[in-house]
Amino acid sequence: MTNSLAVTVDSEKGFPITFADSANFDAFGKLRVSMPHTIFDSKTVHGKSSLFWSEAVFGSGAIHFTNQGDASVTLSATSANSYAIRQTRQRFNYQPGKSQLAMFTGILEPTSTAIKRYGLFTSLTSAPFTPNLGLYFETQTDSPTSIAVVQNNGSSLVASVSAKREQWNIDKLDGNGISGKNLSLSAANIFLIDFEWLGVGRVRFGAVIDGQVCYCHEINNAGRVQGAYLASPNLPVRAEIRQSTNGSANSLKMICCSVISEGGANFTGVTRGIDTGASSVGIDIQIPGNRRALIGLRLQSSKLDSTNEVLNASVVPLPHQAATYCPYRYELVINPLMDKAALTWNSVDSNSNLEYSIAPNNNISLSGGTVITSGYSTLGQTIDLSGYRFEKFLRLGCSLDGIRDEVWLVATPLINNTIDGFHGSLTFIESD
């Protein structure tokens, strides 16, 4: 006997809400009550949103923003072994006990001459960037009219799983399944993946068709595996196309995506702080108008899936003996151009996933970068930015080839010989 209850909420349409295992429940079997917490979203209305995305192409591979009328990014390839890849710089924090839901819109049409993938996954950080971890939809060259769903765990203890459309265990979405819906792969679709991790939970793949969530396949890992089915649940959004043979051009269209924690989100990591030390001298900066780096932060190279948020920054100027007035500008800057040869990076502590660098005196200038916040101050005024909401952007990630994002606290004196030195600090929270 099935434990279910059907409630009719519209007497004309008779649309049922079924309290059983259905799209009304998240990956943990909890009733969905419209309380999503967005971790990340991206749409391409005016461009490729390059601050959030990293790209790699090879051979005839290309990535271009279509136009404002279509609001999409197209990945294409023509010649054999060419590829085009687009991946978010950030990984998105999975919180144990909460279902994570990701939705992706675009065209993922199968072809016999190219492999296309779209979902939550990542790869090695060296060319050809072969996927080795994640959850995604995949078209395969030996099934030119079909599509597969994949749980990729690389070479870890739990084997990877791939199921083609004809093997889907909920609904093949061919018009003959329980939904009665047909997934037309030549058209733009809303693909979705939700999962519980806790190391061994279930994964569901599906699509939204005519406003209805239609699950097509699920992988139940709990009670069936000997370890974690994914080495890490903190995954980026990614799409790629890989051309297998020479021939006509193939393409994959990306339109929009969203990553959601169902039932809210609480960042439960560890708060840490770094600063320029307790010296009475500080970092000497005496040239007016020159932007000088104070202190920087980035992920450790072996922990690129760690999630983090910058919470606070502060700047303290140390006055010259005769100074009564010493105005300066402060900035928080993501990925500035710098002469990094003189920098030394150190682990924040033995338990941290990040590392920091204190700039040597008066010789690390910088240009460019994305300024997150800026302002002006003078002697006797400590700058405390704890009220700012950096967490919506300041999650440090990396590019496809492993080049890590850096955030730098920067100071620029406006008048000559009025400041002996600067001190600065950054406070952040991090989680595995």
Whether 308 maps to a domain, the answer reads yes
11: left (phi over 0), alpha (psi -120 to 50) or beta: alpha
In the block, which residue shows the tokens 């569901």? 204
Asked whether 340 and 333 are in contact (CB, 8 A), the reply is no
| β pairing state of 270-275 and 419-431 | antiparallel
- Of 120, 277, 289, which Cα lies nearest the Cα of 205? 120
Residues 250 and 274 in one domain: no
Sign of the CA dihedral running 288, 375, 396, 277:
positive
Amino acid at 104: F
Residue 161 has pLDDT above 90, yes or no: yes
Specify the pLDDT at position 348: 96
Mean per-residue pLDDT, 103-114: 95
| pLDDT tens-digit series, residues 370-386 | 998 888 887 666 666 65
Residues 44 and 184 in one domain: yes
Question: For residue 177, what are its two tokens?
Answer: 């399944």
| pLDDT tens-digit series, residues 178-234 | 999 999 999 999 999 999 999 999 999 999 999 899 999 999 999 999 999 999 999
Asked whether 208 and 194 are in contact (CB, 8 A), the reply is no
Distance, CA of 23 to CA of 20 (rounded, Å): 9
Whether 367 maps to a domain, the answer reads yes
| pLDDT tens-digit series, residues 245-287 | 887 889 999 999 999 998 877 777 899 999 998 877 778 776 7
pLDDT top residue among 154 and 283: 154
Mean per-residue pLDDT, 87-99: 92
Please classify residue 251 by burial: count the beta carbons closer than 10 Å to its beta carbon, then call 0-12 exposed, 13-18 middle and 19+ buried: middle
Q: How confident is the model at residue 4 (pLDDT cuts 50, 70, 90)?
A: very low
Whether 420 maps to a domain, the answer reads yes
Distance, CA of 28 to CA of 119 (rounded, Å): 20
Of the three residues 242, 262, 282, the one that is the final residue of a domain is 262
Of the three residues 237, 262, 287, the one that is the final residue of a domain is 262
Whether 317 maps to a domain, the answer reads yes
Residues 40 and 140 in one domain: yes
Distance, CA of 125 to CA of 16 (rounded, Å): 47
Question: For residue 162, what are its two tokens?
Answer: 């791939």
Residues 289 and 250 in one domain: no
Q: How confident is the model at residue 1 (pLDDT cuts 50, 70, 90)?
A: very low
Asked whether 253 and 91 are in contact (CB, 8 A), the reply is no
What is the DSSP-derived secondary structure letter of residue 320? P
Q: How confident is the model at residue 2 (pLDDT cuts 50, 70, 90)?
A: very low
Mean per-residue pLDDT, 58-81: 92
Whether 417 maps to a domain, the answer reads yes
Question: For residue 172, what are its two tokens?
Answer: 């093949």
Mean per-residue pLDDT, 109-120: 95
Specify the pLDDT at position 417: 59
Residue 95 CA, chain-centre distance (Å), reads: 15
Residues 248 and 274 in one domain: no
Range of the structural domain that residue 137 is part of? 6-262
pLDDT > 70 in the chain, percent: 88
Domain count of the fold of the chain:
2
Residue 111 has pLDDT above 50, yes or no: yes
Q: What is the CA radius of gyration of the chain?
A: 25
Mean per-residue pLDDT, 141-150: 88
Q: How confident is the model at residue 55 (pLDDT cuts 50, 70, 90)?
A: very high
Of the three residues 262, 296, 311, the one that is the final residue of a domain is 262
Distance, CA of 240 to CA of 293 (rounded, Å): 37
Residues 279 and 299 in one domain: yes
Residues 137 and 172 in one domain: yes
What is the DSSP-derived secondary structure letter of residue 359? P
Specify the pLDDT at position 200: 93
Asked whether 222 and 139 are in contact (CB, 8 A), the reply is no
- Of 329, 336, 297, 296, which Cα lies nearest the Cα of 315? 329
Specify the pLDDT at position 379: 66
Residue 147 has pLDDT above 60, yes or no: yes
Distance, CA of 124 to CA of 90 (rounded, Å): 15
Residues 332 and 375 in one domain: yes
Residue 105 CA, chain-centre distance (Å), reads: 16
Mean per-residue pLDDT, 87-94: 94
Residue count (the chain):
432
Residues 39 and 148 in one domain: yes
Residues 171 and 110 in one domain: yes
Mean per-residue pLDDT, 357-362: 82
Mean pLDDT of the chain: 87
Residue 363 has pLDDT above 80, yes or no: no
Task: Give DSSP secondary structure letters for 50-106.
Answer: TTTEEEEEETT-EEEE--TTT--EEEEE-STT-EEEEEESS-B---TTS-EEEEEEE
Residue 126 has pLDDT above 50, yes or no: yes
Residues 221 and 345 in one domain: no
Question: For residue 173, what are its two tokens?
Answer: 């979405």
CB atoms within 10 A of CB 93: 25
Whether 1 maps to a domain, the answer reads no
Q: Which residues contact 12 (CB under 8 A, 6 or more apart)?
A: none
Q: What is the CATH number of the domain that holds 63?
A: 2.60.120.200
Specify the pLDDT at position 246: 87
Residues 383 and 256 in one domain: no
Cα-flanking dihedrals φ and ψ of residue 167, to 5°? -105, 0
Distance, CA of 137 to CA of 121 (rounded, Å): 10
Least confident of 5-19, 152-166, 309-323: 5-19
Specify the pLDDT at position 3: 45
Specify the pLDDT at position 242: 97
Residue 79 has pLDDT above 60, yes or no: yes
Terminal C-alpha separation, the chain: 42
Cα-flanking dihedrals φ and ψ of residue 342, to 5°? -90, 0
Distance, CA of 46 to CA of 84 (rounded, Å): 21
